[in-house]
Every structure is written in structure tokens, then in C-alpha cells.
Structure 1
Amino acid sequence: MKYTRITALAAISLAATLSLTACGNGNDGSGKDSSSQGSSSSTSSSSDGSAKSESGSGSSSSSSSSSDGSSKSEGGSGSGEDTEARAGAANGATTTGGKVTFCKTEDLAIDARDASPDEKTGTIDITMINRGSTTCSATGFAGVDIKDTDHTSEPISRGHAQPRITTLKPGDAAVFNLSYTIDTSGNSVAHPTNIQVTPPNETHTVNLPWPAGAGEIKGGYTEVEVYPTHTTN
């Protein structure tokens, strides 16, 4: 009987122990760890979201970059001046509103002379002296027409040459020339009487006599070319 009681008590004790163990395992396997992991995952997700939000704030930097780009575009738009005007201003010509002041016809003393180097090459030098009170630019090609004895006039084409900066202080001179081949046959069809000159970037024309002693023009006025101005210094 005593043995039976001891056995029964041992069985009850073993059952209680097994029950407690089962309960302890149930707690360890509960959703607390999962919940904790889920919270950590949520925190991580929130952290990622925050990082993304911070990354998203980079759009401000992008906007700044866009703003910089716009600023560069505005800076680039400041190049509206033409080459002659910029070059003239850099060489001391007076400016008005950012543009160089070109020499006016009324301020220039202009004349023409024969400057042919030999009997085959015809050259007419046309000199323009700044008689004004301010520095000005005569850079570029003058407009030239040659008037004939039949009272017609022909425009002269430009020679293949790049304009040179021609800035004139008061009293300075600029020169440009007409070039052609001299006709030695005595049968030239061109009989020039006058040279009509319009200074570069001007609209007013002066009428000059064809230089005495200049060689006759071979092939007509279409063979004559005008070249850009340059200083005499």
C-alpha cells in the first residue's frame, strides 16, 4: 500500500513537472518574439522610410542643381554682342549701351589714290582719317560702288579676307584697298569716273574721283574686289 502511494505521488509530481515544462515552452513559443521581431522589422522599415524620405529631400539639391542650370543659361545668354562690337570695345572704342560706336561718315576725311605696285596689279588705297573728337571703330568692309562714264554704277564684291580690328583715335587713319588686274591692251570696257564709298556700319556715302594715272580695269567691274580696313600704324 505504501509502495502504491509513493508511486502515485511520483506520478503526480512527474505530471506536474511535465505540465510546467509545457507551459514554459508555450511562453517561449508565443508571439512575443515574433511581435518583437515584427516591431524591429517595423522600426527597420520606418528607418528605411525615413532614409527614403531623407533621400527624397535630395530633390531640393536637384532643384538647386536645376536652379544652377538656369543660372548658367542666363549667364550664357549674355553673349548677344557681335564680334566687331566686342573686339572694338576691347581695343578702346567708345561704347553706347554696350555697343561700340562706329565712325560716322561725317567725322571721316576720305580720299583715294593709286597705289599699284607694278604694271599688272591695280591697287587703289582709300584712306579714312578720324576728324571727330572721340575714338571710334572702322572695323570691317566698306561699301564700294564704281561709277562709269555712262552714268551707271557697279557694286564691288568683297575679297576673301577676315576683317581686322580698326580702332581710330582722333587723328588716326584707316586704310582699305581695291584690287584688280590692269588691262594693258588698251581695249578695256570699264571707264571709271568715281568711287562711291560707304564706311563700315554706315549708311552715308561719299563720292571720290577715280585716281588719275590708275591703270585700266581688265574684265570689267566684276573683277574688282574690296578688302577690309586696317590701321596705318
Structure 2
Amino acid sequence: MKHTRVTALAAVSLAAALSLTACSGDGSGRGSSAKGASTPPSDASASSSSPSDGGSDSGGSTANNTKPDSSGQDAQAGTGTGGTKGASKAGAKVTFCKTANLAIDAVDAAPDKTSGRINITMINRGSTTCSATGFAGVDIKDADHTSNPIERGPAQPRITILKPGDTAIFDLAYTIDATGNSLSSPTDILVTPPNETHTVSLSWPAAAGQIKGAYTDVQVYPTHTTK
């Protein structure tokens, strides 16, 4: 009888132990489920960092787009600045000849009896190289004390650079009046070198032929060198 009770008690104890084991397994299963449930927040955290990463990429892209524009402007500005400096230096190297540094003279150079021409020479007496490029301003003074501006002839200016001692030349061209009835009586030639404001007065060459027509028929041509 005692044996039967012990056996029964043993069976009850075993069943209780098994029941406890099963409960323990469920608990661990719940724990595992809880851990699994904690994983999505971790994934959510990772996905939330993706926009942040994307934001930094976008920021990097914007920065990259900005840098070329900025560097492009700098380069352009640099080029612009360099061009200005270069022009400044070029301008500083050769300045226009000053009237005070030029020995100016006028001579008759008519090639024949119908074509009147007066050559006006300008010698650089200064100590530096200068430019005499362009048209000189010319007025012819008449015996009645009036001054008449001379128009430019149909020609393009030529680069005329004068080293110390070099000579530039330009001419006045007109048709000679062979009748002796010319209405003009020139006495002086007023010359203002190209890009200058100071004028010199030269005597009209005595050997020059009379002007046919009016002073408006006389033309001045641009300077050039004698070399």
C-alpha cells in the first residue's frame, strides 16, 4: 500500500516537473518573441538614418554643384582681372608722343605739277619710345587770319611707334591750281599730333603750289614711319 502511494506521489511530482518545464519553455518563447519585437525599432532606427545619409549625400551634391560655379566665377574674375592688368601694362609701355618731345617740320613734296603734297615730319626727340599712331589734327591759317580745319583722307591709320630719334611722317594732299586764280592764301599749318592737345604752328612751304578750290578740298592722311 505504501508502495502504491509512493509511486503515485512520484507520478504527481514528475507531472508537476514536466508542467514547470513546459511553462519555462513558454516563458523563454515569450522572451524570444520580445527580443524579436525589439528588432523592428532597430530597423526603424536604421531606416531613419537612411534619410539622414541621403540628406548628407544631397548636401554633398549641392556642395559639389556650388564649388564648380564658385571656382568658375573666380577663374573668370581672375581672367578679367589679369586682362585688365595686362592692358594697363601694355598702355604703360608705350604712351603717345608728346608735342613737346617732337621736332615737327613741313616741306613741299609735290610729285608733279598737278598733285599738291606737303609732307609733315615728326622726329622723336624724347628719351623714351612713344606712339604717333593715327591722324594728326590740322588747320590751315589763311592770310585773312582765319583757320580752316582739314578733313581726313580715306585711309586707315597704321601703327607708328617711334624710338628716340625715329621719324613719323604724314601728308596733306590737294590739287594744284595752275591758273593763278586760287582763292586761298595759306600762311601757316597748325599741327596737333595724334592724341595730343598741344599745337605747333608751321609756315606754309614757299615752294608749294596754290590750292585749287577751297580748304575743304585738302585732305590729311594718317601717320606712318619712314622705314
The code of the aligned residue for 2:166 comes to D
- Distance of aligned partners of 1:205 and 1:53 in 2 relative to their CA distance in 1, 3 Å threshold: closer
Please, which of 152, 155, 178 is the counterpart of residue 184 of structure 1?
178
Q: What letter matches 1:71 in structure 2?
A: G
1:138 positional shift: 2.2
- Greater shift after overlay, 214-223 or 39-48? 39-48
**Which residue of 2 is the match for residue 202 of structure 1?**
196
2:78 maps to: 71
Task: Please list every run of at least 4 consecutive aligned residues from structure 1 whose deviation after the TM superposition is greater than 6 angstroms.
Answer: none
Q: Which residue of 2 aligns with 1:38?
A: 44
Amino acid at match of 1:123: R
> Counterparts of 1:19-98 in structure 2 under 5 Å?
34-35=40-41, 37-58=43-64, 59-78=66-85, 81=88, 86=90, 98=92
What SS is found at the alignment partner of 1:161?
A: coil
Q: Measure how far apart 1:36 and its partner are.
A: 5.3
Change in CA separation of 1:65 and 1:102 when aligned onto 2, cut-off 3 Å? closer
| Distance in 2 of aligned mates of 1:46 and 1:203 | 72
User: Does residue 130 of the first structure (1) align with residue 130 of the second (2)?
Assistant: no
Shift of residue 31 of structure 1?
5.5
CA shift, 1:180, in A, is 1.6
Matching residue's letter, 1:64: S
Offset at residue 122 of structure 1 (A):
1.7
Deviation per CA, 1:183-226: give whole Å up to 9, x if none. Answer: 33433222211111122233332222212232222221112111
State the shift of 1:48 in Å.
Answer: 1.0
Is 1:155 aligned with 2:162? no
Counterpart of 1:110 in structure 2: which amino acid?
I
Distance 1:117 1:67, change over 3 A: same
Structure that is richer in helix per residue: 2
Q: Secondary structure at the match of 1:57?
A: helix
| Alignment pair present for 1:139 and 2:146 | no
Letter in 1 for 2:57: A
Aligned pairs, how many?
202
More off after superposition, 173-182 vs 116-125: 116-125
**1:68–1:177 CA distance, 2 compared to 1 (3 A):** same
> What's the offset of the Cα at 1:228?
1.4
Q: Deviations over 1:92-133 (max 9, x none)?
A: xxxxxx253433333332221222223332211111222334
1:21-61 deviations in Å (ceiling 9; x for gaps): xx89xx59x75675455344323322212211222332345
Q: Give me the CA root mean square deviation.
A: 3.4
Alpha-carbon distance between aligned partners in 2 of 1:74 and 1:101, rounded to the nearest angstrom: 22
* Corresponding residue of 1:100: 94
Instruction: Quote how far apart the aligned CAs of 1:152 are.
Output: 0.8
TM-score computed with the length of structure 1 as normaliser: 0.70
Deviates more, 1:105-114 or 1:215-224: 105-114
Map Cα deviations across residues 47-97 of structure 1 (whole Å, 9 max, x no partner): 21221122233234543333333333323433655xxx94xx7xxxxxxxx
Match for 1:73: what amino acid? G
SS at match of 2:96: coil
- Distance in 1 (CA, whole Å) between partners of 2:81 and 2:126 is 38
Q: Distance in 2 between matches of 1:65 and 1:109?
A: 52
